[in-house]
A and B are shown apart, each in its own frame.
Chain A
């Protein structure tokens, strides 16, 4: 699957060196990513066993622009928690949209959602998500623990129909048949 300079593919056990720059770029308070090869392999192996987890790397040329996967606690609800690790969040709109399109194309998901901690480092993440059609759904007060004390987390969600509308307006090539 390609879009302009971007493409996506499944994350492999041997991709640590490819995705390491992305993992290093993610603020530690945003997501606790294994940052050594052994931990990464265990992480990806665990992901691969989870239903609909879809661990993927988004590539820009030969470089990783994003690592994304889903957490679907109960498939019957067709609602998946999106984890998107972005090398440069302010430029991540297209690779993110490519992954989201592939998630809706691959599975009968009704909705994606995620949480964004209210931290200065996470503002570009929030903007990237809102930029591909996610809507604000509220704030989880004081849920995030940081060295500076508790912080809020914003809840954002995206329904399948909303993403299709976003595609029609912004990136028609991503529309589903």
Chain B
């Protein structure tokens, strides 16, 4: 798996993912706008090395009113991605968000998005708040669960799972990698 910074050249792939994402209620649909820029490092495509396909996206923004707090969004097309890919991509991306100056990483996850709740439980992050009926998706209002952690907590969590991540016990050497995006057909 490779994380590749979103650039104008990759917008067609981003738009393709958004087409799928808007029918997935997991994030309440696709974001209303995107220009590829984020507060703590760029948005990144998650690319499967085996197929060279973009199968998901990671992005961040600074939480309004909270300097240094990065709100991270992850979306993976589960019909295209292999099991475990989301956790690997998330770990690599979060490391980069902290390296880009974030003090805290903050996630807001819809109550029925069980894969992400399982992922949070696996890495030992507990919900801090439950915003009741906060998001309208798939025909009704849903609670949103909030998770957050700092770099120290993240390092402790990731050290427990480092052997599962790219590079084994080593930190990610590069984001974006050496793989070139597929040529236009």
Chain A residues near B (Cβ < 8 Å): 71, 74, 76-79, 110-111, 113, 115, 135, 137-145, 150, 155, 157, 159
CB pair A145–B67 under 8 Å, yes or no, is yes
Q: Mark B108-152, 1 if CB is under 8 A from A, else 0.
A: 000000000000000000011111111110000100001010100
CB pair B69–A143 under 8 Å, yes or no, is yes
Known: A142-B104, A143-B104. A78 touches B150 (CB 8 A): no
* B63 contacts A by Cβ under 8 Å: yes
Q: Which residue of A lies closest to B68 (CB)?
A: A145
CB pair B148–A137 under 8 Å, yes or no, is no
Q: Select B134's contact among A111, A139, A140, A143, beta carbons within 8 Å.
A: A111
Q: Which residue of A lies closest to B131 (CB)?
A: A137
In the complex, which of the residues A78, A140, A159 has the most CB atoms of chain B within 10 Å of its own CB atom? A140
Q: Select B135's contact among A71, A77, A155, beta carbons within 8 Å.
A: A77
CB pair A157–B134 under 8 Å, yes or no, is yes
- How far apart sit A130 and B183, CA to CA, in the bound complex (Å)? 58
Distance (whole angstroms) from the CB of A139 to the closest CB of chain B: 6
Q: Select B141's contact among A110, A140, A143, beta carbons within 8 Å.
A: A110
Q: Select A138's contact among B66, B130, B136, beta carbons within 8 Å.
A: B130
Do most interface residues of chain B lie in helix, strand or loop, or is the interface mixed?
strand
Task: Please give, as numbers and ranges, the residues of chain B lying within 8 Å of A138 by CB-CB distance.
Answer: 127-131, 146
Task: Please give, as numbers and ranges, the residues of chain B lying within 8 Å of A79 by CB-CB distance.
Answer: 131, 133-135
Q: Which residue of A lies closest to B69 (CB)?
A: A143
CB pair B131–A77 under 8 Å, yes or no, is no
Which interface class (under 10, 10 to 19, 20 to 34, 35 or more) fits B?
A: 20 to 34
Task: Please give, as numbers and ranges, the residues of chain B lying within 8 Å of A155 by CB-CB distance.
Answer: 129, 131, 146
* B166 contacts A by Cβ under 8 Å: no
Q: Select B66's contact among A77, A113, A143, beta carbons within 8 Å.
A: A143
Task: Please give, as numbers and ranges, the residues of chain A lying within 8 Å of B130 by CB-CB distance.
Answer: 137-138
Task: Please give, as numbers and ranges, the residues of chain B lying within 8 Å of A110 by CB-CB distance.
Answer: 133, 136, 141
- How far apart sit A60 and B141, CA to CA, in the bound complex (Å)? 36
- How far apart sit A110 and B134, CA to CA, in the bound complex (Å)? 8
Known: A77-B28, A143-B63, A143-B148. A137 touches B129 (CB 8 A): yes
Distance (whole angstroms) from the CB of A1 to the closest CB of chain B: 26
Q: Which residue of A lies closest to B28 (CB)?
A: A77
CB pair A142–B132 under 8 Å, yes or no, is no
14 additional A-B residue pairs with CB within 8 Å, beyond A138-B128, A143-B106: A77-B134, A77-B141, A113-B131, A113-B134, A137-B129, A137-B130, A137-B131, A137-B132, A138-B146, A139-B128, A142-B104, A142-B148, A142-B150, A143-B69
Q: Which residue of B lies closest to A152 (CB)?
A: B128
- How far apart sit A143 and B32, CA to CA, in the bound complex (Å)? 26
Task: Please give, as numbers and ranges, the residues of chain B lying within 8 Å of A145 by CB-CB distance.
Answer: 66-68, 103
- How far apart sit A45 and B47, CA to CA, in the bound complex (Å)? 44
